[in-house]
Chain A
Amino acid sequence: MSIQVKNIHKTFGKFKALNQIDLEIPSGGLVALLGPSGSGKTTLLRIIAGLDFSDAGSGNISFNGHDVTSLAAAKRKVGFVFQHYALFNHLSVFENIAFGLRVRSKAERPSEQEIEDRVHKLLKLIKLENYGKRFPKQLSGGQRQRIALARALAVEPQVLLLDEPFGALDARVRRELRRWLRQLHEEIHVTTILVTHDQEEALEIADEVAIMNHGQIEQRGRSQEVYDFPANAFVCEFLGDVNSFASTGQTTLVRPHEIELYSHDREGVEGVVRAVNAFGAVERLEVDLIADKKTILVERSSAVKEKHPLRTGDLVCVKMRKEFVFPGEESA
């Protein structure tokens, strides 16, 4: 089921939460809406779900070409997963997942046996087969979020909408669930929109990302594409660490791993190593540039690190391998 968002506006009082949003998501795709808090990404997701409505007179939302703009959430057949799970605490895990099936009208409701089969299948899918009788409060955050996902999938939604689904979880569980979600998507191929402020998460899971800021989509493209060819300074800075150099009329941004350090006898900008952080696969250095009176961040792979070990206080030459240059002195 493809999703088309056309010319959507949303204002809260005087605040423009969404400003002329156009977005098309192909059937079976997994697109991440990425942006800082307050950029409007959750508002857009809620409007697609039918939990909020766009400004009167603004454009429309359609699923597979069918206009759903004025359709209530209950009728849209979307699966929505909330950041804080929003499970029904008074129902067992089994009943939580079965909820969407039980509230159907008699004509559409599956039989008790079918409900049981489907819930068990989903419990297996989320690897919580033996947890059907438990209550949500007895489970961990990661388990609860998986149940929330199973609950959303139980109604066989046309569209799956995930609102910062891993935001409340700790880093390890988050990484695990990320990979699991990606696998799951490859298995079931439901058109999915993921809202997140974590660029790593978005780039890792999604086929495509749409980067939002101030209620607008700044750039849309494949993960590698937006990372390698950011449309503007905001996108570039949001997708990863950058060193920014402002000069008249333009801003130059350089990623830490695109900077090379040579021993002092070579040509280039002079600098002094201020601090070295050597844990893990990547070494992170802070280097004071002597001429600019500025500190930059440099990342080196362990191979380079072993070849040319550096210590605090060493004099180095700095060379940029790749720069992004954007017009305008102030970066967003």
Chain B
Amino acid sequence: MNSLSSFFTRFKLKPQVMPGFGLSLGFTLFYLGLIVLIPLSGIFIKSSSLSWNEIWLTVTHPRVIHSYKISFGLSFLAALINGFFGLMIAWVLVRYSFPGKRLLDALVDLPFALPTAVAGITLCSLYAPNGWIGYYLSLLGIKVSYTPLGILLALIFIGTPFVVRTVQPVIEDFDQEVEEASMSLGAGRLQTFCRVLMPPLIPPLLTGMALAFARAVGEYGSVIFIAGNMPMKSEITPLMIVIQLEQYEYAKATAIAGVMMIISFLMLLCINLLQAWSSRYQRN
């Protein structure tokens, strides 16, 4: 009891206006444990029923290795593309006024709201060789549906809102006078954009891209319809997990899931560190 109270006094350095530090911290830890930590550790516990050798063979199977490249590579590429166009959309939505702006703004959230299967089927039929857009692309020799390009398209689609919604409030908060100060100091438009406007946008941009990336890595519903799911060509890692599950190989499924989780965690960690570095000036 004594050690517990000293534990709390150590962390309760300053008297707080709001009471309930102990209660709220306790509940937070309990809740996160229940919702996040226990299911995640379940992954490792479940896969530990396999021997190391079996785990290694499962997670390094050529089909699975290829699926990592597809999943992480395309998710990263999709996040980059979303970063660029998301920034542009956010910029247009904040800086310009035009008829239908509110409608366009609402449209940005659509990929959030749409059931992923609906998105997948719609994209697939649009971009199939006999679809509205796919037909013309196939004339140019570009195949979208049932190829990695199709997967990329689906991942871009579902990731669009993340960057827009994280960057938008920061652009809204920009002080007009800061731009004017830059101009009056002799900076041109491009210099003002690169030196004054862009740096504060990098932290939210990274956050948005990290979110889009995380969402894309785990995306199943929309991708599965457009991917074609050809082994060594267009299979994503979540599909590899589902295939194992369908064969009642639960331990193998969790082994692959564990690898996915570790890679995702490391990538997000890197992005977070990068973000902390790019926003270092905000600390007092």
B residues near A90, Cβ cutoff 8 Å: 199-200, 281
- A87-B264 Cα distance, complex, nearest whole Å: 38
Q: Report B172 CB to chain A, min CB distance, Å.
A: 16
Asked whether A72 and B284 contact (CB < 8 A) given A86-B175, A103-B191, the answer is no
User: Which residues of A from 99 to 122 have beta carbons under 8 Å from B?
Assistant: 99-100, 102-104
Q: Which of A73-81, A248-256, A312-320 contacts B (4 or more CB under 8 A)?
A: A73-81
* CB closest residue in chain A, given B186: A74
B residues near A190, Cβ cutoff 8 Å: none
Complex contact B281–A137 (CB within 8 A): yes
User: Which residues of A from 24 to 76 have beta carbons under 8 Å from B?
Assistant: 49-51, 72-76
* CB closest residue in chain B, given A163: B177
* CB closest residue in chain A, given B202: A90
> How many inter-chain residue pairs (CB < 8 Å) link A and B?
77
Complex contact A74–B184 (CB within 8 A): yes
A residues near B188, Cβ cutoff 8 Å: 74, 103
B residues near A86, Cβ cutoff 8 Å: 175, 177-178, 180-181
Complex contact A82–B181 (CB within 8 A): yes
Q: Does B12 have its Cβ within 8 Å of any Cβ on chain A?
A: no
Asked whether A78 and B200 contact (CB < 8 A) given A86-B177, A99-B195, the answer is no
Complex contact B191–A78 (CB within 8 A): no
- A151-B177 Cα distance, complex, nearest whole Å: 14
Q: Does B182 have its Cβ within 8 Å of any Cβ on chain A?
A: yes
Complex contact A72–B183 (CB within 8 A): yes
Interface size class of chain B, counting residues whose CB lies under 8 Å from the partner chain: 20 to 34
Q: Does A174 have its Cβ within 8 Å of any Cβ on chain B?
A: no
Q: Report B187 CB to chain A, min CB distance, Å.
A: 4
Cβ-defined partner of A152 (8 Å) among B185, B187, B282, B284 = B185
Q: Does A6 have its Cβ within 8 Å of any Cβ on chain B?
A: no
Q: Does A88 have its Cβ within 8 Å of any Cβ on chain B?
A: yes
Q: Does A155 have its Cβ within 8 Å of any Cβ on chain B?
A: yes
Q: Does B196 have its Cβ within 8 Å of any Cβ on chain A?
A: yes
- A82-B185 Cα distance, complex, nearest whole Å: 13
Complex contact A103–B195 (CB within 8 A): yes
Asked whether A84 and B175 contact (CB < 8 A) given A103-B195, A137-B281, the answer is yes
Q: Does A135 have its Cβ within 8 Å of any Cβ on chain B?
A: yes
* CB closest residue in chain A, given B201: A90
A residues near B186, Cβ cutoff 8 Å: 74-75, 77, 100, 103-104, 155
- A79-B184 Cα distance, complex, nearest whole Å: 7
Q: Report A134 CB to chain B, min CB distance, Å.
A: 10
* CB closest residue in chain B, given A92: B281
Q: Report B144 CB to chain A, min CB distance, Å.
A: 40
Q: Does A183 have its Cβ within 8 Å of any Cβ on chain B?
A: no
Q: Report B213 CB to chain A, min CB distance, Å.
A: 24
Complex contact B183–A74 (CB within 8 A): yes
Complex contact B184–A80 (CB within 8 A): yes
User: Which residues of B from 259 to 284 have beta carbons under 8 Å from A?
Assistant: 281-282, 284
User: Which residues of B from 132 to 187 have beta carbons under 8 Å from A?
Assistant: 175, 177-178, 180-187
Complex contact A99–B187 (CB within 8 A): yes
Q: Report B176 CB to chain A, min CB distance, Å.
A: 9
Q: Does A89 have its Cβ within 8 Å of any Cβ on chain B?
A: yes
* CB closest residue in chain A, given B188: A74
Complex contact A89–B185 (CB within 8 A): no
Which of B177, B180, B184, B199 has the most CB atoms of chain A within a 10 A radius of its CB? B184
Which of B181, B188, B200 has the most CB atoms of chain A within a 10 A radius of its CB? B181
Q: Report A268 CB to chain B, min CB distance, Å.
A: 54
Q: Does A138 have its Cβ within 8 Å of any Cβ on chain B?
A: yes
- A155-B200 Cα distance, complex, nearest whole Å: 24
Q: Report A14 CB to chain B, min CB distance, Å.
A: 21
* CB closest residue in chain A, given B189: A74
Complex contact A84–B177 (CB within 8 A): yes
Complex contact A78–B282 (CB within 8 A): no
The chain A residues found within 8 Å of chain B, CB to CB, are 49-51, 72-80, 82, 84, 86-92, 99-100, 102-104, 135, 137-138, 148, 151-152, 155
Give 13 new A-B contacts, CB below 8 A, not counting A104-B186, A137-B282, A152-B184. Answer: A50-B184, A77-B186, A78-B184, A82-B181, A86-B180, A99-B182, A99-B187, A100-B185, A103-B182, A103-B186, A103-B187, A151-B181, A155-B186
The chain B residues found within 8 Å of chain A, CB to CB, are 175, 177-178, 180-188, 191, 195-196, 199-200, 281-282, 284
Pairs A–B under 8 Å by Cβ, sample size 29: A49-B184, A51-B180, A51-B184, A73-B183, A73-B184, A74-B186, A74-B187, A74-B188, A75-B186, A76-B184, A77-B186, A82-B181, A86-B178, A87-B178, A88-B182, A88-B195, A89-B200, A91-B199, A99-B187, A100-B187, A103-B182, A103-B185, A103-B186, A103-B191, A137-B281, A137-B284, A138-B284, A152-B184, A155-B185
Closest 5 CB pairs of A and B: A100-B185, A86-B177, A103-B187, A80-B184, A86-B181
